[in-house]
Amino acid sequence: MKLAHRLDGPEDAPLLVLSSSLGTTMRLWEPQLDAFTARFQVLRHDHPGHGDSPVPDGSIAVEEIASAVLELVDADRFSFCGLSLGGMVGMCIAATAPDRVEALTLCCTGAKLGTSQDWHDRAAMVRADGMATLVDRSRERWFTPAFRDSPTAQSYLDELQAIDPEGYARCCEALAAFDFRDRLAEIEAPTVVVVGEDDPVTPPEVVETLNEGIPQAETVVVPNAAHLANVEQPEAIAAAVLDKVRS
């Protein structure tokens, strides 16, 4: 699996890997990029069928995305921050390569999100009707009412519509099969679970599962933020990440 990616920041700095959510590209992390590259070299990637990453042949799994991300990383040790699907990728990496992950930040994510049928239904919907069918529901889930009609919010919704429907559907099917609840104890890295206070995607029981299952986990709740918390509250998310990762 080939993933489009880019590096920013000083080559001699420690590495921070950033992984984005379903329906977004590496542009998701631009609000934090200046803050992060002041201390790190930053590696960002696009998920399969998103941005410049090609749609893979056949079905995919979150674990396969994690393996593809690891192939991009030359550093022996690195920190990782992922949002939603990106956080699931981070869980897989931290559990399978515990000796390599310095610190882990899991933003607006869960060891299992929604039901498998929900994800299969969404995959079928975008294959039948295209990406535009997701815009209204994503506006409500991604952003709070005070932010969802802003030009910034609209720019991410425009990007959503440009995602390849088949690539998006394959990632939905990967999410349908993903359940990491029985493997959380394998994560050894110090972990920060960041949740938007108004995020409908990660209810309290999802956050509690991460906190109880990961040995070194703590939670940071970000007010006035929904699912794309880093877009709505960029400084708070940057602070939550930088407070725990070492440079």
Give a three-class secondary structure readout of 110-166: CCCCCCHHHHHHHHHHHHHHCHHHHHHHHHHHHCCCCCCCCHHHHHHHHHHHHCCHH
pLDDT tens across 35-51, in order?
999 999 999 999 999 99
What domains sit in the chain, N to C, each tagged with a CATH number? 5-242 (3.40.50.1820)
Q: Would you say residue 246 has pLDDT above 80?
A: no
Distances 64 to 49, 58, 242 between C-alpha atoms, Å: 14, 12, 28
Cα-based angle 20, 22, 24 (whole degrees, multiple of 5): 60
pLDDT tens across 105-154, in order?
999 999 999 999 999 999 999 999 999 999 999 999 999 999 999 999 99
Q: Would you say residue 60 has pLDDT above 70?
A: yes
**pTM of the predicted structure, to 2 decimals:** 0.96
Q: What is the 3-state secondary structure (H, E, C) of 53-105?
A: CCCCCCCCCHHHHHHHHHHHCCCCCEEEEEECHHHHHHHHHHHHCCCCEEEEE
Tokens 């920013």 label which residue?
A: 8
Q: Would you say residue 247 has pLDDT above 70?
A: no
**Residue 2 — pLDDT band, cuts 50, 70, 90?**
very high
Q: What is the mean pLDDT of the chain?
A: 96
pLDDT tens across 224-244, in order?
999 999 999 999 999 999 987
Q: Would you say residue 91 has pLDDT above 70?
A: yes
